[in-house]
Structure 1
Amino acid sequence: MSVSGSEVYKISFVFPNQDKYEGDCTRTPEGVLERNGYGVHTTPDGIIYRGNWMNDKMNGIGKLEHPSGAIYEGEFKNNMFHGMGTYIFPNGAKYTGQFSENKLEGKGEFRDTQGLEWDGTFHYTAAPGLKLKLDM
């Protein structure tokens, strides 16, 4: 496999802050290793990202898990939730839909802690015209 025409290396690297990365890297023309391809990044406090990297950032499809129980699975762009994805809140509520730069933005569905499902258009923390989905 070649990412932007350069050789892919499999590495295991521990950062000065004790974050750890295991996965694919490529070397820039300046000789710097960058995360490119698939890899797993973990932090000492329990945050885990498994997914695609491009230009040393989370880009593409991935899954980010927090020790709080929060989980995001979907599309990333430059280390942000961006595109289609599912976010499960620590309390078990779940949003599936569009994200824009870490914000709920666009068409989506929300399941609350009681299991009720809502759908509509989301705009960050507001959801004007949200409708309860009823199974009839």
Structure 2
Amino acid sequence: MSETTTLKISYIFPNGDKYEGECSRSSDGVVIRKGSGTQTSASGITYTGEWDNDKMNGRGTLTHPSGAIYSGLFRDNMYHDKGTYRFPDGTKYTGNFHNNRLEGEGEFTDSQGLVWTGMFHNKAALGLKLKVNM
């Protein structure tokens, strides 16, 4: 079993993306993102969180220049499992994701602050119920 060394780096990719955080060296000597770090794309998208196998894997937050923010779990660079997506208009979805899509049980808070619960599948949400707080 080989030992892996955690490195802290600041790196600017040829496309202008910037990564600051932890890395390790693979068995063939390639440096890959692993651990915690922040990557900012040239277009202004920022991811801060956990990395594994050179991809967003684990808990993190992805912020878009539009104001949209996803905070939750990632698997292989995609929203996966539990998370919250805040849309630029102030609405938000909290619940399950699968491969970047709303999938399963969740809550959607509309622009009036009303919370709708139910099962979500991609862009469809049949049979949502208004959650009433008493």
For the aligned pair, the TM-score class normalised by the smaller chain equals over 0.9
Amino acid in the other structure paired with 2:23: C
Partner of 2:122: 124
Correspondent of 2:10 among 9, 12, 15: 12
- Could you give the per-residue CA deviations for residues 48-70 of structure 1, whole angstroms, max 9, x where no partner exists? 00000000000000000001000
Q: Spell out structure 1 runs of 4+ moving beyond 2 A.
A: none
Identity %: 59
Using the size of structure 1 for normalisation, the TM-score is: 0.95
C-alpha displacement at 1:135, in angstroms?
Answer: 2.2
Partner residue of 1:63?
61
Please give the TM-score of this superposition, normalised by the length of structure 2. Answer: 0.96
Unaligned runs of 5+ in 2: none
Point out the more displaced range, 56-65 or 126-135: 126-135
Aligned to 1:44: 42
Equivalent residue of 1:30, what SS?
coil
Deviation digits for residues 3-34 of structure 1 (CA, Å, limit 9, x no counterpart): x8400000000000000000000001111000
Instruction: Indicate the residue corresponding to 2:82 in structure 1.
Output: 84
Which stretches in structure 1 are left out of the alignment for 5+ residues? none
**Aligned-partner SS, 2:29:** coil
Give, in whole Å, the separation in 2 of the partners of 1:111 and 1:93.
6
* Residue 35 of structure 1: aligned partner: 33
**2: distance between equivalents of 1:5 and 1:110?**
45
Q: Tell me what 1:25 maps to.
A: 23
Give the secondary-structure state (helix, strand or coil) at the position aligned to 1:6. coil
